[in-house]
């Protein structure tokens, strides 16, 4: 309210909310994407032939009583244990990507971050939790590193963004 001879002046501020609009749209539609992480189709085959990477991965992930192979979770455990690190890695530039209409890249970054922690698990013997190899396995492989023989399983880990529904 102005008194006396004072005059009211109008000011206009122009603001671009297009990034916010895209971000809000992305939030609304964010459930249209998902990330698959693991041994995906194109990385399943092995040159040594007897079993696929998926078969070896299943046995390693859940163990096998009949083969006397302990559980060495290389997918579920690393992603669960390092979930905060995955969020931290994947959130770098996430807001900018979403406001620029590149929300799918956020999901790609989540997949890449999951791949990284899985590789860390291979390199650290499951962050120190994997049961060691039996002497007969060490003799055959000439290595005491669990889940690493020729590197096929470790190299088979990848991620992919898919559309839901």
- Domain-by-domain residue ranges, the chain? 37-163
Mean pLDDT of 21-49: 74
pLDDT in tens, 56-95: 999 999 999 999 999 999 999 999 999 999 998 988 888 8
Q: At what angle do helices 103-123 and 83-90 cross, to 10 degrees?
A: 140
The string of pLDDT tens digits covering residues 82-130 is 999 999 898 888 888 877 778 888 889 999 999 999 999 999 999 999 9
The model's pTM = 0.79
Shortest CA distance to 60 belongs to which of 47, 74, 50?
74
**Euclidean distance between the first and final Cα of the chain, in Å?**
56
**Would you call 135 exposed, middle or buried from its count of C-beta atoms within 10 A (0-12, 13-18, 19+)?**
exposed
Residue 28 CB partners (closer than 8 Å, separation 6+)? none
């Amino acid at each position: 309210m102005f008194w006396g001879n004072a005059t009211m002046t109008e000011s206009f501020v122009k603001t671009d909310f297009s990034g916010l609009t895209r971000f809000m749209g992305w939030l609304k539609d964010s459930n249209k994407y998902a990330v698959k992480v693991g041994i995906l189709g194109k990385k399943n085959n092995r040159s040594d032939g007897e079993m696929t990477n998926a078969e070896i991965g299943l046995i390693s992930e859940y163990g096998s009583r009949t083969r006397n192979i302990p559980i060495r979770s290389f997918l579920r455990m690393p992603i669960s244990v390092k979930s905060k690190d995955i969020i931290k890695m994947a959130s770098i530039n996430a807001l900018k990507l979403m406001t620029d209409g590149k929300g799918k890249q956020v999901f790609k970054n989540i997949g890449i971050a999951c791949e990284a922690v899985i590789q860390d698990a291979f390199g650290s013997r499951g962050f120190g939790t994997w049961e060691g190899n039996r002497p007969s396995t060490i003799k055959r492989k000439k290595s005491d590193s669990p889940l690493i023989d020729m590197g096929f399983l470790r190299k088979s880990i990848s991620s992919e963004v898919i559309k839901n529904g």
